[in-house]
Structure 1
Amino acid sequence: MADMTKRTLLATLRGEHQATPPIWLMRQAGRYLPEYRALRAKKGGFLELVNDSAAAAEVTLQPIKRFGFDGAILFSDILVVPHAMGQNLWFEEGEGPRLAPRLVDHALETLTAVPQRLDPVYETVRQVHAGLAAQTTFLGFAGSPWTVATYMIAGQGSREQAEARRFAYRDPVAFQALVDAIIGVTVDYLSGQIKAGVDAVQLFDSWAGSLSPAQFERWVIAPNATIVSQLKARHPDTPIIGFPKGAGGKLPAYARETQVDALGLDETVDPAWADASLPKSLPVQGNLDPLALIAGGAALETAVERLLSVFADRPHIFNLGHGILPDTPIENVEALLRMVRG
């Protein structure tokens, strides 16, 4: 008889191979769910949801109640870190997050830290931890320093991260100081999540793919290695997932040098290449194309079968290559679960 209290996702992160891989989906708590849309409309916006701990806990648990995923991912945002560092944070309807003052125009020293802005997140973690089933792994997260810095410098997201890349070349000393400051807050923030009840954490580096190899080494690998090292010193038993989106051929170096416990793969990575290039004992997470999930049918079935086949002999967490999209049909998510779980 299966052990209904075993956290298979947590065991996989610790290197244990499962006959059936555990599954969760990035952005699984989000706009594709009618219950999420209803609660967001009631609360008035995204940031209002994040800062309402009871509501954020409810959102975190919504996909677990509906689908029974093996992992629950904290409902929050990577930009709560610059908010705690002293930038103002708000969301423009239909356009995304905004931060001010922009650090392309203002020095880091002009910011006044407001660490209590993170308190609602810790309370959300405590509430989710209290309401989560024994077999479900609870995942916390933070943005990696490079990605967070791009938002802090430009004041918003951008596909090319041109302002941050120019800043890093023009004044590497000042950019290093910003990255170091983000590292310090991030380590404390993730440690706070762990103390409040998460079982593992993920580092999201959404814009890692925009850097040259030398810049990737300095602004992605080195900062993440520092976070992993410092966090492991405080919480040696807590697994850390690294997700450097767009890293491509630099993934083996990232895995080797950061010493993350598991590696997230985006949808552009050939799973056969990843399986051949990464250490056999390293757990991998991913990497179904979110658009294949929207397409459903034979396209979804073929993609799922390939991933299950390629990663059959290593610790594997089934996931998307990036976040689930708002127009994803719920019936396709249900079909995905049936495919993965047999």
Structure 2
Amino acid sequence: MSSAPHGKPLLKTVLGERQDRPPVWIMRQAGRYLPEYRETRAKAATFLDLCYNPELATEVTLQPLRRFDLDAAILFSDILVIPDALGQKVGFETGEGPRLDPLGVEGISALRPEGVVGALAPVLETVSRVKAALAPEKTLIGFCGSPWTVATYMIGGRGTTDQAPARLFALRHPQAFAALMDVLVQASIAYLVAQFRAGADVVQLFESWALNLDETAFRAQVIEPNARIVAGVRAQVPDAPIIGFPRGAAGMIAAYAEATGVNALGLDYSMPTAFADKALPKTLGVQGNLDPLRLVAGGEQMETRAREIIAGFAGRPHIFNLGHGIVPETPIEHVARLIDIVKGR
């Protein structure tokens, strides 16, 4: 693993140490709301070309830290590099999101997790480059998509509002679905271990599409695979700091936290602060959870809500963040103001 947590407020918080003020980063902080990102993006033919170009991806990762007093950089990449590395064709349509060749039962046996780390060597080089360029007090966050979320794209061929293609696949073809999840668990472990070895201080598991699962499916398709990843990573990187972000977990957050063993729990913006604070152990760090559209609108409502969140989690380790990714139409001055509020300015 990379350097010790001394001097890194965000890493300390992940490891359970409450700070005088919450450290802050923003999901999708490197992205289309920044003009410098759009300029860099234009240098790559496709979005995946940008992800796989260490020079450009490093530049994009560092851009938001040049503008804002953020406590962490998060690797610029995408959750769908894993299916791409597994051999499933992945593309991105401008304005429409990812497009994959939908995976059927017969295609699962062709997936080979052992080649993932080699295929993603350019991403790992980006991790190393960012680490070398970061100030010592800044935390470097790596990540991957959690198996259920990645599987929804692999099976559906695109993002869907209710994840019905993957939900039906799991019900109709349980053995094939279990085999797919096994592949994704093993690929994710290898990829995250490689990120730690390349210089990541902490990693985040993005379970972005947990919100449409019943409790039985949530345990089987979210909790169990994420727990296997956490255990598998720590078998090779002892005490690896890991943030879980099960978006839409609702009343299952405590079960997720306990069963997975993550160090900190990302909360989506629909999660009431008082519920989360009561449901989770006081030693467990939480991350979140401002509605991204409050950041778009800005003004008094944003400032009031940000202060409510900070106060709501004042008795535990807390990383301030949005409750989902920043959206492209977000005014830069609103981001600057939000960070000033978190920093007590």
User: Normalised by the shorter chain, which TM-score bucket?
Assistant: over 0.9
**How far 1:42 sits from its partner (Å)?**
2.2
Letter in 2 for 1:142: C
- Contact 1:104–1:154 (Cα < 8 Å) also in 2: no
Alpha-carbon distance in 1 for matches of 2:35, 2:274: 36
In 2: Cα distance, 1:68 partner to 1:309 partner = 21
Cα distance, 1:57 vs. partner? Answer: 0.5
Kept after mapping to 2: 8 A contact 1:200/1:239: yes
- Structure-1 residue corresponding to 2:15: 14
Gaps of 5+ in 1: none
Aligned residue among 318, 321, 324 for 1:319: 321
> Partner amino acid for 1:160?
D
Specify the alignment match of 2:219 in structure 1. Answer: 217
Secondary structure (helix, strand or coil) at the match of 2:278 reads helix
**Higher deviation after alignment, 36-45 or 289-298:** 36-45
- The CA distance in 1 between the partners of 2:72 and 2:111, in whole Å, is 36
In structure 1, distance between residues paired with 2:293 and 2:54: 31
Q: Does 1:95 align with 2:103?
A: no
Amino acid at match of 1:143: G
Deviation at 1:112, TM superposition (A): 5.6
Where structure 2 has 5 or more consecutive residues not aligned to the other structure, the ranges are: 1-5
Cα separation, 1, equivalents of 2:111 and 2:311:
50
Aligned mates of 1:141, 1:32 — CA distance in 2 = 21
Q: Which structure 2 residues correspond to residues 41-190 of structure 1 after superposition, within 5 A?
A: 41-100=42-101, 102-104=102-104, 106-111=106-111, 114-115=115-116, 116-190=118-192
Q: State how far apart, in whole Å, the 2-side matches of 1:111 and 1:173 are.
A: 15
The 8 Å contact of residues 100 and 157 in structure 2, kept in 1 or not, is answered as: yes
The offset of 1:109, in angstroms, is 1.5
The whole-number CA distance in structure 2 between the counterparts of 1:111 and 1:293 is 40
Q: Deviations over 1:113-169 (max 9, x none)?
A: 653321110010011011011000000000000001111111111111111100111
> What is the CA deviation profile of residues 28-67 of structure 1, one whole-angstrom value per residue up to 9, with x for unaligned ones?
0000001001111122332121011110000000001110
TM-score (norm 1): 0.96
Query: Using the alignment, how far apart are the partners of 1:146 and 1:213 within structure 2?
Result: 14
1:189-230 CA deviation, whole Å, 9 max, x = no partner? 000100000000000011111111000000000000000011
Pairwise CA RMSD of aligned residues? 1.1
Do 2:30 and 2:37's aligned partners in 1 also have CA atoms closer than 8 Å? yes
Matched residues, number: 337
The DSSP-based 3-state class of the residue aligned with 1:149 is helix
- Identity, in percent, stands at 55
> What does residue 3 of structure 2 align with?
none
Q: TM-score, normalised by structure 2?
A: 0.96
- 2:256 corresponding residue in structure 1: 254
Kept after mapping to 2: 8 A contact 1:104/1:163 = no
